[in-house]
Amino acid sequence: MPSYPPTRSALCFGGDYNPEQWSSDVWRADVALMREARVNLVTVGVFSWARLAPRPDRYEFGWLDEIMDLLAEHGIGVDLATATASPPPWFSEKYPESLPVDRDGRRLWYGSRQAYCPSSPAYREAALDLVSRLADRYGQHPALVLWHVNNEYGCHVARCYCDQSAAAFREWLRARHGDLDALNEAWGTGFWSQSYGDWSQILPPRATPTTNNPGQELDFRRFSSDALLELFRAEREVLHHVTPGVPVTTNLMAGLTSAFDYWRWAPELDLVSNDHYILAADPHSEIGLAFASDLTRGLAGGSWLLMEHSTSAVNWQPRNAAKAPGQLLRNSLGHVARGSDGALFFQWRASRAGAEKWHSAMLPHAGTDTKVWREIRSLGEVLHRLGEVAGSTVDADVALLLDYPSGWAQEAAAQPSVDMDCFAEIRRWHAALWRAGITADLAHPSADLTRYRAVLVPSLYLVSDADATNLKSYVDKGGTVLVGAYSGIVDECDRVRLGGYPGAFTDLLGVVIEEFFPLLEGECVALSDGGTGTVWTEAGRATTATVLVSHADPPVAGSPAVTRNAFGAGTAWYCGTRLAEPDLARLLHDVCERAGVEPVLAGAGAVDPRLEAVRRRHPDGTTYLFLINHAGHAVHVPATGTDLTTGDDVGAGVTIPAGGVAVLRNDVGKEE
């Protein structure tokens, strides 16, 4: 029976198990096949509310008792869901005010899922009642290893604009700002005659004639993330009270959505778990996958668990490409390489009916004589052999800073350029590092940065004084930082920092910018080193920095584009435009090289750019080099160790076939 956190001897393998979609005669076949595939953890009951409580005040737990017993008998652990992700129709009919309302005032009906307002007292009360019944009934059950609260909070309803949300928003604002004077000051309501004289006048930023107040928008996004987090906390408290020894998680969507401040969420979870689905239209979906994993690892501050991904096609993209043979293994190991202590899927058995009947599963409609089932069995085998990897950490010398409210503030209307997308720019820098073979952690600007050789700040429009000081003191003590354009511009209320841009960082970077010159769609400009700037230019000068590259084109010709400044014992680089891909790659290479950051396969010679290499490490020094070949040809890697996927000793390097994988273990002191 697996436990959580996993011991050094097991990775988790399994997926969402929805037995309520099937008659009980299928259940025994299910567990037998789970055993065959080496499944050791399933998530049960995510959407079972209507089955558990078919009518108000009527509960039916018998079927779940049977499932839990069956799984325990077969040694399969249960990540038991609290079933609060989708209230049943009777609930919505009884409490219509619990249905969410969008920005335009449209009420969203039941008939799909997640149809509840996060601030609805009726929903909260009913959810907590269900949770405490489940905790009382199954808290001591031998199959229970983990609690799974709700499901992908906010995946469909990230923000609700109803009157109940308005009331909760006001309470949240009182706690944040104290009094109305402070709120008016924070939001700059002196502009456009928006001053509030009474709390009752404050609303969510509903549809208005033109641009809403940006401070109000930003606070509403913070509130909306917190409102869902508060629901999680309330369920978790019930579970901790009844079953103090059982860890509690909820599945995040880091890398798929930026709608929630997951830096505030992660510390509240006993175990950080994440869901990830690749985008079929993305020719380099392995890089998007790596981003999600690196972000989740940053959130977790260590290892984490991949709660959902897909065995093949999903059903919610415009064209749902199936996975090519071998892709399933590459995708699953891609997450494990970057810190996941297992690989779980949505879902165990493909549905016969309902909105997700065309979504792949571990057991497809066509049964066991299939590509997917064979690949699932061999994945189960590989994960079994990799069991000792569990609990190890991932080597990363670089941090990429990401702050959600900063991105939200930048997403508000009436900005200098719609092309200055914060989250896309962070991904672009991450992708350039991926291509350079450098592993990066995503980190919050307030994090302890001292263990990183370089800190990259692609886009940090909004920064608090404390976070700006954190970055400066990291550099002052010898660190290296590279800051991207349009960072350090506003305070945490989205008020411009006066006296020249980038206000919070002018001294750190040794530059002062006086005016922005955003480019038109598709426009490019020439730089003094032959490189190309896109999206953004600006006019300004260096104060103490050395100008390495300047603008060559008017109207900003001569203004700095790339600079380097000595600050205390460290170095602060600045890039005041969005460099074209090759130029960005070159700049990141220079910054990393000077800071002593090496690619994972440093010294291995020219290795194929589509060969992904990541190293995990146990505190005793044992390392695991994950090699994932995304290229259409074999790649030779001059590394040594024992390939845990085959058990072979690799003496003179390893050749990874097209689309293949290897995981090389090196014991203490034997690092290649």
CB-wise, 277 or 461, nearer to ligand GAL?
277
* Minimum distance, C-beta of residue 512 to ligand GAL, in the bound complex (Å): 46
* Residues 603 to 632 in contact with ligand GAL, rule: CB under 6 A: none
Provide the minimum distance between the beta carbon of 435 and ligand GAL in the complex, in angstroms, as a whole number.
Answer: 28
Task: Tell me the C-alpha distance between 533 and 580, whole Å.
Answer: 6
Please name which of 423, 381, 378 lies closest in space to residue 400, comparing C-alpha atoms: 423
308 binds ligand GAL (CB under 6 A): yes
Interhelix angle 404-411/422-435, rounded to 10 degrees, is: 130
DSSP per position, 578-647? EE-HHHHHHHHHHHHHHHT---TTTTS-S--TTEEEEEEE-TTS-EEEEEEE-SSS-EEE---EEETTTT
Structure tokens at 563: 């600079």
Peptide bond into 5 cis (omega under 30): yes
| Nearest C-alpha neighbor of 251 from the set 100, 147, 375 | 147
* Backbone conformation region of residue 418, classed left if phi is above 0, alpha if psi is from -120 to 50, else beta: alpha
Closest separation between CB of residue 295 and ligand GAL, Å?
Answer: 17
Contact 572/454 with Cβ under 8 angstroms? no
Convert residues 474-513 into a mask of x (bound to ligand GAL by CB under 6 A) and - (unbound).
Answer: ----------------------------------------
Residues 71, 143 contacting (CB under 8 angstroms): yes
User: Does residue 542 sit in helix, strand or coil?
Assistant: strand
Decide whether 269 or 390 has the Cβ nearer to ligand GAL.
Answer: 269
Asked if 274 is part of the footprint of ligand GAL (rule: CB under 6 A), the reply reads: no
Residue of 1, 70, 72, 155 interacting with ligand GAL (CB under 6 A) = 155
Residues found in the chain: 672
Neighbours of 16 (CB within 10 A): 26
Q: Does 216 bind ligand GAL (CB under 6 A)?
A: no
Question: In the complex with ligand GAL, which residue's Cβ is closer, 46 or 173?
Answer: 46
Q: Is 429 in the site for ligand GAL (CB under 6 A)?
A: no
Q: Is 76 in the site for ligand GAL (CB under 6 A)?
A: no
**Least CB distance to ligand GAL at residue 308 (A):** 6
Distance in angstroms (rounded) separating the CA atoms of residues 405 and 334: 29
Choose the binding region for ligand GAL from 6-14, 148-156, 189-197, 371-379 (rule: CB under 6 A): 148-156
Between 313 and 585, CB nearer to ligand GAL: 313
Q: What whole-number distance in Å separates Cα of residue 111 and Cα of residue 129?
A: 23
Site string for ligand GAL, 180-209 (x = CB under 6 A): ------------------------------
Q: Does 275 bind ligand GAL (CB under 6 A)?
A: yes
Closest separation in Å from C-beta 151 to ligand GAL: 5
Q: What are phi and psi of 583, to 5 degrees?
A: -75, -35
Alpha-carbon dihedral 518, 523, 528, 529, rounded to 10 degrees = 120
| Closest distance to ligand GAL from the beta carbon of 153 (Å) | 10
Using the 8-state DSSP alphabet, how is residue 446 labeled?
T
Estimate to the nearest angstrom the gap between the alpha carbon of 395 and the chain centroid: 19
Least spacing, CB of residue 309 vs ligand GAL, in Å: 9
Asked if 291 and 255 touch (Cβ cutoff 8 Å), the reply is yes
Is the Cβ of residue 151 or residue 164 nearer to ligand GAL in the bound state?
151
User: Catalytic amino acids?
Assistant: 152, 308
Least gap, CB of 278 to ligand GAL (angstroms): 11
Q: Mark the segment that binds ligand GAL (CB under 6 A) among 20-28, 147-155, 201-209, 553-561.
A: 147-155
The backbone region for 568, taken as left when phi is positive above 0, alpha when psi lies in -120 to 50, beta otherwise, is left
- Which one-letter amino acid corresponds to residue 72? A
Which tokens sit at 607?
A: 């290795």
Conformational region of residue 605, where left means phi above 0, alpha means psi within -120 to 50, and beta covers everything else: left
Question: Considering only CA atoms, which of 411, 410, 426 is closest in space to residue 584?
Answer: 426
Q: Tell me whether residue 596 is exposed, middle or buried, using C-beta atoms within 10 angstroms of its C-beta: 0 to 12, 13 to 18, 19 or more.
A: exposed
When binding is defined by CB under 6 A, the residue of 17, 123, 223, 346 that contacts ligand GAL is: 346
* Interaction of residue 277 with ligand GAL, rule CB under 6 A: yes
**From 92, 120, 151, 303, residue interacting with ligand GAL (rule: CB under 6 A):** 151
- Is residue 288 within 8 A of residue 253, CB to CB? The reply is no
Report the residue number, 138 or 277, with the smaller CB distance to ligand GAL: 277
Residue 159 found at the interface with ligand GAL (CB under 6 A): no
By C-beta, is 272 or 637 nearer to ligand GAL? Answer: 272
How many residues sit in the footprint of ligand GAL (CB under 6 A)?
10
Q: Is 359 in the site for ligand GAL (CB under 6 A)?
A: yes
Q: Residue 563's closest CA among 455, 481, 473, 475?
A: 481
Q: Is position 150 an interface residue for ligand GAL (rule: CB under 6 A)?
A: no
- CB of 151 or CB of 439, closer to ligand GAL: 151
For ligand GAL, which residue of 30, 79, 152, 494 counts as binding (CB under 6 A)?
152
Interface positions, 309-328, toward ligand GAL (CB under 6 A):
314
CB of 16: closest distance to ligand GAL in angstroms? 6
655: enclosing H helix or E strand: strand 654-656
Q: How far is CA 318 from the centre of its chain?
A: 22
Q: Which stretch binds ligand GAL (CB under 6 A): 151-159, 396-404, 558-566, 653-661?
A: 151-159
Q: Give whichever of 274 and 410 is closer to ligand GAL, judged by the CB atom.
A: 274
Q: Where does this chain touch ligand GAL (CB under 6 A) — which range of 150-158, 382-390, 450-458, 595-603? A: 150-158
C-beta of 58 vs 319, nearer to ligand GAL: 319
CB 113 to ligand GAL: min, Å: 8
In this complex, which beta carbon is closest to ligand GAL, that of residue 151 or of residue 459?
151
CA distance 624 to 10: 15
Q: How far is the CB of 256 from ligand GAL (least distance, A)?
A: 8
167 binds ligand GAL (CB under 6 A): no
Nearest CA-CA partner of 16 in 256, 372, 356: 356
| Binding footprint of ligand GAL on the chain (CB under 6 A) | 151-152, 155, 275, 277, 308, 314, 346, 356, 359
